[in-house]
Chains A and B, each alone.
Chain A
């Protein structure tokens, strides 16, 4: 009980510290932007330019991180599949290959005998797993249930995809309106060459969103 309370307290402290750290890290944005605007190029550096370029490089950075991450995950999956296959082949019993993904009902022929062939073709590992699992299925009722569950799964997936698109668009509208109105407000309130053309463009931008 005491250990549980200590764990809870640690988690609370961790969350609060993370919150403070996160807000503090957001404050560096203002200081860094101020540095670039004042010390780097005071006459030409526009906040829209800064926002656009910084967000663009952040998007590229996160995309690269995503690629590296997925590559690492893929490698880990292959390694774990390989180790579990080696174990099952060594015992000589049923194949227990699980690549960490849901297998498709399609199957291909042939199982692998050597480690080298397993390394060269991960798809064969998947098909071996599917073959063994298909052999174990005998009842037609089970097939029927599987079809039903795959239909339900498909419906859930399509609904999730629809929701994803909807919320992505909503986020795009909300975040861009927030950012553009924030920048525009600083231009209107602080010294800036305001013209009717600028006002028109801001209104068009907001309407387009």
Chain B
């Protein structure tokens, strides 16, 4: 396969990955009728563009032009499937607010995602488990292991569910570009894999500017929303009190 075709595939893959927050925001609006925060769409599109620029550069560096177009098509389709199911998972997190606890959901995910890949690898590639024999027990590798299993799959997953339930799936997912920024900063600090091309710098700058503006705007929006909800709650309470006073039961009680 030619390099140009590989770039087209990378473009689609990056595009599909950046679609996830858009799919979540749309599903959130349709299924849960959540309000959109200001600048949601510009933020999601611009930060997606930034992420796309970074992904294109990195895919270009790591790319292998020997992959067939059929494999790439399957890869892109699976990525799209993953994005859609990721969106559904976030919607379910909100919908099951009064049914399942965050720990229950995290444990379900952990157990099922442990057992099925385990069976899969034992059938297809059992030698992959021998990698643990060669894993050096250095502080860095142990820290990496604990970061993944305890830091991310235990605590960050539980906190994610709590935040999705408080903020809503669409609003929570609109901050997803922070993950890309965090990965780039941490990679350069820990792994020494810094940015190399101008496009990557442009992508990161675009993301930082977009996220900063969005942070300021959403802060104001959240404060206003709370004020409005409190005013409506007070009005509702007053209305209920007036209704109570008018009702014959209340008059009898008073008498």
Measured CB to CB, the residues of A under 8 A from B are 8-9, 11-13, 15-16, 18-20, 22-36, 38-41, 44-46, 48-59, 61-63, 65-66, 160, 163-164, 167-168, 170-172, 174-191, 194, 197-199, 201-202, 205
Contacts and interface: CB of A to CB of B under 8 A. Distances in A.
Nearest to A28: B147
Contacts of A55: 109-111, 113-114, 117, 149, 153
Contacts of B77: 185
Contacts of B141: 35-36, 39-40
Interface in B104-144: 104-118, 120-121, 123-125, 127-132, 134-136, 140-141, 143-144
Given A16-B219, A189-B72, A181 B82 contact: yes
Contact of B89 (A44, A65, A174, A191): A174
Nearest to A59: B110
Is chain B's binding surface mostly helix, strand, loop or mixed? Answer: helix
A54 B67 contact: no
A11, A31, A35: residue with the most chain B Cβ atoms closer than 10 Å: A31
A5 B29 CA distance: 29
B116 A33 contact: no
Nearest to B134: A41
Given A61-B150, A189-B71, A23 B113 contact: no
Contacts of A183: 117
A11, A18, A171: residue with the most chain B Cβ atoms closer than 10 Å: A171
A41 B89 contact: no
Contacts of B109: 55, 171-172, 175
B192 to A, nearest CB: 11
Given A19-B175, A25-B159, 12 more contacts: A23-B178, A36-B141, A36-B148, A39-B140, A41-B135, A46-B131, A48-B120, A54-B148, A55-B114, A55-B149, A179-B82, A205-B120
Contacts of A174: 85, 88-89, 92
A198 B124 contact: yes
Is chain A's binding surface mostly helix, strand, loop or mixed? Answer: helix
B134 A58 contact: no
> Which bucket holds chain B's interface residue count?
35 or more
A190 B114 contact: no
A88 to B, nearest CB: 34
Nearest to A194: B71
Contacts of A25: 151-152, 155-156, 159
A31 B99 contact: no
A22 B165 CA distance: 14
Given A8-B223, A29-B147, A54-B153, A16 B218 contact: yes
Contacts of A35: 140-141, 144, 190-191
A63 B107 contact: yes
Interface of B: 9, 13, 62, 64, 66-67, 71-72, 74-79, 81-82, 85-86, 88-89, 92, 95-96, 99-100, 103-118, 120-121, 123-125, 127-132, 134-136, 140-141, 143-145, 147-157, 159-160, 163, 166-167, 172, 175-176, 178-183, 186-187, 190-191, 215, 218-219, 222-223, 226-227
B222 A27 contact: no
Nearest to A69: B103
5 contacts: A12-B219, A12-B223, A20-B178, A49-B121, A53-B149
B78 A51 contact: no
Contacts of A189: 9, 13, 67, 71-72, 75-76, 79
A183 B74 CA distance: 12
Contacts of B186: 27-28, 31
B129 A29 contact: no
B152 A175 contact: no
A12, A19, A66, A190: residue with the most chain B Cβ atoms closer than 10 Å: A19
Contacts of B134: 40-41, 44
Contact of A188 (B75, B156, B226): B75
A156 to B, nearest CB: 12
A200 to B, nearest CB: 11
A59 B160 CA distance: 16
Contact of B107 (A26, A59, A205): A59
Contact of B81 (A54, A57, A181): A181
Contact of A56 (B110, B144, B191): B110
